[in-house]
Structure 1
C-alpha cells in the first residue's frame, strides 16, 4: 500500500484541482484582508489574520472552507469509476488497500489546502506589518482562555483546526462519491453538511454545536473544546466508514 499511497499523493499534489483549491483559499483570505489593509499599521498583523480567517463582513474563508476542502480529491473515486481506471487499480491492489490509501490522500489534500494558505498568510502579514495584540472585543467560546494568554497560540490553534476540518470535510465528499457517479455532488455535498445545520440548529437551541463552531471556536459562547472534537470525530467516523463500506463491501 505504501507505493500506491505515494502514487496517490503524487497524483493529488500535482493536480490542477489541488492548486485551484489552494489559490481559492489564498484569494478568500486576501478578500477578507483587503478592505482593512489601509488600517494595517494601526491594527497590526494579527488582526489582519483574523480578517482573513473569520472576522468582519468581508471574510468568506469560513463560509466556503468545506467547499474548498472537497475540491482537490473528493471526487477522485467518481473519476476512477467512470474512466475504468478502477479496474486497472484492482489488478494491482486490493479494494481494502485502495480505500485506505484514498482516504488518507484525500484527507491530507483537504487539510493542507485549507491550513497551508492560512500559515502563508500569517507569515506574510507578520513580515509586512507590526505584530501587536488584536482587539476583537470579548472573545468567547472554546479556547478563549488561550486567546487572552497568547493570540499567536490561538491563531495556531485556528490553523490546526482548519487542517482537521479540511481533512474531515474532504472525507465527507469522498464518502458520498462511493454512492454516486456525480463528481460535482461529491464537491458540494460537504458544503450542505456544513450549511444546513447552521440554519436549522439555532431554531432548536443547538447553535453551540452547529458546524461553524468547529472552524470558528469563538462563534458561540457556549461552545466547548469537547463539543468541537466530538462533532469532528463523529463526522470522521461516519464518513470514513461509509466510504470504506461503499468500496470494499458493496463493491461499487
Structure 2
C-alpha cells in the first residue's frame, strides 16, 4: 500500500505543470550564465591564440580556460548565476510545496488517510516533496553543465591556477576538485539535491500553522534570506575569526563566494533540517488526529 501511495504522490509532484514551470525557469536562468561565459571564453581564447603566435606554441594560460570554471556552478560573476542561487529557495518550492495546504482545504487528506493510514500518507508526501524539490534544483544545473561541456574543454584543473578556479586548499572537497573534477561536480549536485529537498520540506512542516498555500511556498525563501542577512550583517562582523560560510545561499554554490564552505556546516544544517521537518511533518502528524 505504501508503494502505491508513494508512486501516486511522486506522480503528482513531478508530473504537474508547476514542476515543469520551475525547471523551465531554472534552465532559462542558467542559460543567462552560459551565454556571457561563452562570449568571455571566445575573447580569452582569441587573446591566447595571439599570445601563442607571438611568443610560441606553449601558452601556460590555456589551462585556465576549462569547463569547470565556466559552467554555472564554477563561476561567480554572471547575473544568471547570481540570480539562480538567490531565487532557488523559491523555485524548489513551486512544484509541490503548496500541496498539503490545498489538499487539506479540499478534504482530500481525510480520504487518503482512511485508505492508506496517516503515517504512510505523510511519509509518502514527505518523500515526494523531497524528490521533486531536489530535482527542481539540480536538473537546471545538470542541463547547464551538459550544455557547457559542448562549448568548453574539460581541462583538468591545475592547482597552480587556483585563483582562476576560486577553490583553494581549504575549500570543501578541494582535493576531489583538482583530482577528479567530474566526481566533484556530481558530489556537489548530490549535496544540492539533498539539501534543497530538505529545505522544501519546511513547507510541509509549517502547513498546520500557516494555512495559505502562497505563504507556505514563500516561507523557505524568506527564511534563507533572513539567515543570509543575519550572517552577513551580524555574525561575520561580530565574530572576526569566523571565516567559514554559514549561509545556504552561498555554500550551496560549488564555488566559494566569500568564505570557504565547511562539510561540517553542511552536515549540521542538513541534520537539523531533517530532524525538524521529519518530526513535525511525519511523526507528529502521524500521532495526532486529523482536523
Given the alignment of the two structures, is residue 170 of structure 1 paired with residue 234 of structure 2, yes or no?
no
- Tell me, in whole angstroms, the C-alpha distance in 2 between the residues paired with 1:92 and 1:194: 37
Given the alignment of the two structures, is residue 204 of structure 1 paired with residue 226 of structure 2, yes or no?
no
Tell me which protein shows more helix as a share of its residues: 1
Q: Which runs of 5+ in 2 are unaligned?
A: 46-64, 158-163, 237-241
Corresponding residue of 1:236? 274
- TM superposition shift of 1:182: 0.7
Deviates more, 1:64-73 or 1:53-62: 53-62
Structure 2 counterpart of 1:215, from 249, 252, 258: 252
RMSD: 2.2
Residues 9 and 128, structure 2, Cα contact 8 Å, conserved in 1: yes
- TM superposition shift of 1:53: 6.4
Residues 29 and 52, structure 1, Cα contact 8 Å, conserved in 2: no
Corresponding residue of 2:10? 9
Given the alignment of the two structures, is residue 64 of structure 1 paired with residue 93 of structure 2, yes or no?
no
Alignment partner of 2:70: what SS? helix
Map residues 13-28 of structure 1 onto 2, 5 A cutoff. Answer: 13-28=14-29
Deviates more, 1:226-235 or 1:145-154: 145-154
Residues 28 and 52, structure 1, Cα contact 8 Å, conserved in 2: no
- Tell me, in whole angstroms, the C-alpha distance in 2 between the residues paired with 1:138 and 1:16: 38
Given the alignment of the two structures, is residue 185 of structure 1 paired with residue 206 of structure 2, yes or no?
no
- Tell me, in whole angstroms, the C-alpha distance in 1 between the residues paired with 2:74 and 2:88: 10
Flag the structure with larger Rg.
2
1:158–1:106 CA distance, 2 compared to 1 (3 A): same
Residues 137 and 193, structure 2, Cα contact 8 Å, conserved in 1: yes
Aligned length: 251
- Tell me, in whole angstroms, the C-alpha distance in 2 between the residues paired with 1:103 and 1:178: 14
Map residues 1-252 of structure 1 onto 2, 5 A cutoff. Answer: 1-41=2-42, 42=45, 43-49=65-71, 51=72, 55-58=76-79, 59=81, 60-133=83-156, 135-139=164-168, 140-202=170-232, 203-205=234-236, 208-216=245-253, 218-244=256-282, 247-250=285-288, 251-252=290-291
- Tell me, in whole angstroms, the C-alpha distance in 2 between the residues paired with 1:195 and 1:109: 22
1:5-61: CA deviation from partner (whole Å, max 9, x where unpaired)? 111111122101111111122122112222222133543433331x35661141122
